[in-house]
Structure formats: structure tokens, C-alpha cells
Structure 1
Amino acid sequence: MASVSRFLVFDTSTDSLSVAVGAGGLDAAPLAQYSGVGGAQASATLIPQIQALLAHAGWRLDELDAIVFGRGPGAFTGVRTACAVAQGLAFAARPEGVPVLPLDTLWAVAEAARAELAATGQAMPHTIAAVLDARMDEVYVATYRLQAQVLTACDAPRLCRPEDLHLAVPPTAGTVLAGNAAAAYGERFDPTLRALPHVFALPSAMALLRLAPEALGRGLAVTAAEAQPLYVRDKVAQTTAEREAIKLAQAAGAA
């Protein structure tokens, strides 16, 4: 009888915190999960919730097949927190360390959208464009090809202005926009993108848990020492002059 994989999964890349434990896979339900407020509270809440979910499942850290975390892009502090916790737990679990799976948050957004469409019986797209609000008047974007429920990255996550998103996303039939960027910047999207179907989605532990077995099978696991966040943006704050320039440009555009 084949053994069941054991994954601990968490994401702190947005204002939401999510944690789950389970075998993973598209059809597998988690043994236990938690979602709550993230942001500044994530660092204080994450480890207690991990301990509680592992206890509920009756698992020990040294029994895990992999520790999975959303590596970004996302909130700078959030992805640093997730990476540091994954590394610390992996090192502490056993002498050789537990494998770590750092997975792209935009991949998780695309998976969350795929699962939502499947659950509601909607027609499945051939491309899912994951678009997250990156703040600072920009969005994170990556596109994924969907075939037989498997998402394959078409490009690497990158930044762009909302007005330029149509240059990164094919505005064609069969493409779905997924994420949270439309709520903040939708009016600035090219009309061809505004006409596409949209699914609100955030990276979550549940989406990462569904992706974990495939990612492990593709050899994406690394040692704890090799695990790194994916920032995409090196600069994490605007100067006062830059913020004022953006306000003036927006005011001029609205005039």
C-alpha cells in the first residue's frame, strides 16, 4: 500500500494568513486548515497555528514530506516571514532537514481560480492570467496555460503598470483574469482586458496544497538553506516626491 504524502503548507504574502496540512492533490481535502488576518499579525500567529494543525492531524514535523510556502511575489515582510519560518521548521525537524517547496504565489492564484471555476461548473479557460495588486501603482502578473487541470507557467512573474497589462496578458477568448488587481485598477485596464471573465482569487494554503504533489514530483523541492523569497520588486517603498508625482498625474488624468 502506497504511503500518503504529508505536507505542511502556509501563505503570508497578502493581508490574509492561511495554513493547511494534508496529502495534497487536486481532489484531496486538507486534514486541517486555518485562515485569518495576516499582515503585521502573521509573524505572531503563524507558528501557533502550525503547531495546532499538526497536533490536530497527529503529525510531527519530522514526519513531513515537505514544507510548502508561498514564496512571492507579495508583501515584502510577509514573504520573508513565510520563508524564515519554513527554513527554521525544516532545519529543526530532523538532522538532514525536511525538503522545502517554495511555490510562486501567482501560481497559487491561478490554481485558486481554476478550482473556483471547476466547483461552479463553468467552462474552463485555456489561459489563466494571475494578476495581484502590487501597490505602488503596479501589478504583479504571470500567465498559465491550463490543460487537463494542470497549470503550466507561460512566463515568469513580473511587474507592470495597470495601463500596460494588456501587453503581458493575451486579451483573447479563452483567457480568464484571476486575482485582486481588478478591484483596485480595473478602470485603468485596457478595454480588451475589462471584457474578459474575471475571478477574484488570492494565494492560499489550500491552493498551494493542491499544487504540492505535482511540484514535488517535478523536483521543485530544495533544502532549507536554498529556500528563498521571490520579490520581483527590489524597491519596496516610494519617496515622498514619487507619491506626490503619482497624485498629480492621477489628478491631471481625472481633469
Structure 2
Amino acid sequence: MPVHHASPSLLAIETATELCSVAVHCANQIWHVSAHAGQQHSEMLLPMVRDVLSQANMTLADLDAIAFGAGPGSFTGLRIACGVVQGLAFAQRIPVLPIPSLEALAQVGSGQVLCAVDARMGEVYAAHYAVSPDGVIECVRAAQVLKPEALLDQMAAQNFITLIGNAWKIFPVLSDWGRGHAQKIIADVYPDARQILQRALVHWAAGLAVSAELAHPLYVRQRIALTTAEREAGQRL
């Protein structure tokens, strides 16, 4: 394992949604690349890693650890991110920082924050965080997958400062509720490697890095396959 530097050199990967992004931190600077990948994450990810490392004039050998957005999100995207990160980390003998994607997204807000992103199949991934003025994030309710109406039943008596995630514009029932229960709605945002990187720095300082074999995605939804009829209807997990 590497020496535990106070300002580590970290690579971060986020592929939990259709946005594929990679970022690197070194000497208090950040380099970043991103693209809407659709279902092409596996083809795009490693070239993006090479690109961002080249921008930073770094190689994999310069890294102290690798972080990734652990989810919840697309099953395929999460498996790709975890597999690539494990392979790179094993090769360099460095640890991994699995970062909950909704925790990273919560950094965009302040106060009581409810993150909700489209989970497909008429459901959302949601998590409730308290974000202090100095950026400390406390998980109030861990990530779960549920129908939008069930989320509102849980949160009916709660007022939020910020609602974050694309579910707040995709589902009308959430949009309508949000306008009466939050000061701000930030819907046009996806989990991004820069957000993962910022949380990874916090997790690194807290000693939360793990060996590569212990890193795993945060699936939340337990179904890992669609029926033939669901696939033919164009549904995706």
C-alpha cells in the first residue's frame, strides 16, 4: 500500500448513469473529461482515463488510490466502473475508494438534501442527506429504490432546502411536490467524477480506502436481469 499522503494523487471514475466521466487530482489541481456515453461506457472509459492522465502529465504509477461512483445506478455501468477500477488498482497495488454516487451528488446542495435519480421501470433511487455549511455530509436515510409515490409518502412531513437529481423533472408527481417543499430544485445534474473526487478526498483523509478485492458496487435494486418481455419492450436496469 502507498504512503498515506495528506494531499493524495487520485483517479476518479463515474459511470452510474449515461454520463461517463473521469477526473484526476494531483497537487491540489483537478483535471476532468466527460461525455454522454449512452451504453458505450466500456468502449469509452479506458481512453478517457488515458486522456485525463495525459492532461495531468501523470501515469497510473503516480496514483495513491482510485475512486469510483459505487452507485446506485445502471447495473452495467456500475459493473464496468468497479471492474476497471479493480483491474487498475490490482496492477498498481493501490487501494480503492468506493463512493456512493448519491452522496457525491449531495455536495451540489446544502441543508436538508434529497437526491433522487431515475432508476427506470417507473422507480427512483433516492437518499436523504444533511449538508452542513462547511460541507460535512451526514446520511439521514441511505439509498433505496422505490416508486415516486412511495418516496413522497416517506417524506410528506419533511421540508428540504435542496432537491437534486433528474427524477425531479422526469416524474411530474415529484416536480409538483418539490415546488411546495423545497427552496431549490437542481434537476439538470448527473453524478460526475469531479464530485466523486471531492468525496474521495474526504474518504481518504478518514482512512476509508479498501483493497481492490473488497470494492463492490452499491446496487440497491436486487434484480440483476430483465425478463425477455421487458427487454423486448426496451426496458433497462
- Give the TM-score taking structure 1 as reference length: 0.80
The structure whose residues are more often strand, as a share, is 2
Q: How does 1:98-137 map to 2 (within 5 A)?
A: 98-111=94-107, 113-114=108-109, 125-137=110-122
Q: What pairs up with 1:74-93 in 2 under 5 angstroms?
A: 74-93=73-92
Once the two structures are TM-superposed, the CA of residue 133 in structure 1 deviates from its matched residue by 0.4
Contact 1:12/1:39 (<8 A) preserved? no
Amino acid in structure 2 at the alignment position of 1:4: S
Deviation at 1:139? 0.4
Q: 1:231 to 1:56 in 2, by over 3 A?
A: same
Q: 1:157 is matched with which residue?
A: 143
Match of 1:218 in 2: 206
Q: Does 1:22 align with 2:25?
A: yes
Structure 1 range deviating more: 166-175 or 201-210: 166-175
User: How many residues matched?
Assistant: 223
Shift of 1:190: 8.5
1:58-97 alignment to 2 at 5 Å? Answer: 58-93=57-92, 97=93
Say what the alpha-carbon RMSD is for the aligned residues.
2.3
- 1:117 aligns with none
Q: Which residue of 1 aligns with 2:178?
A: 193
- Describe the shift of the 1:168–1:86 C-alpha distance in structure 2 as closer, same or farther (beyond 3 A): farther
The aligned residue for residue 118 of structure 1 is none
In the superposition, relative to structure 1, how do residues 210 and 227 fare at CA in structure 2: closer, same or farther (>3 Å)?
same
Structure 2 SS opposite 1:59: coil
**Shift in Å, 1:54:** 1.2
4+ aligned runs moved over 4 Å, structure 1: 236-243
The structural deviation recorded for 1:127 is: 0.8
**1:230 corresponding residue in structure 2:** 218
Q: Is the 8 A contact 2:168 2:178 kept in 1?
A: no
Q: 1:241 to 1:63 in 2, by over 3 A?
A: closer
5+ residue gaps, structure 2, are 232-237
Judged with a 3 Å threshold, the aligned counterparts in structure 2 of structure 1 residues 164 and 46 are, in CA distance, closer, same or farther, namely same
Helix, strand or coil for the counterpart of 1:175? strand
Normalising by structure 2, report the TM-score.
Answer: 0.85
User: 2-side partners of 1:219 and 1:169: how far apart?
Assistant: 33
Identity of aligned residues (%): 38
Residue 40 of structure 2 aligns to a residue in which SS? helix
Query: Larger % of helix: which?
Result: 1
Q: Is the 8 A contact 2:7 2:26 kept in 1?
A: yes
| Structure 2 partner of 1:51 | 50
| Contact persistence 1:141–1:168 (CA under 8 A) | no
Residue ranges of structure 1 left out of the alignment (5+ in a row): 115-124, 244-255
Which amino acid is 2:122 matched to? D
CA distance in 1, matches of 2:17, 2:8: 27
Aligned equivalents of 1:99, 1:70: Cα separation in 2: 15
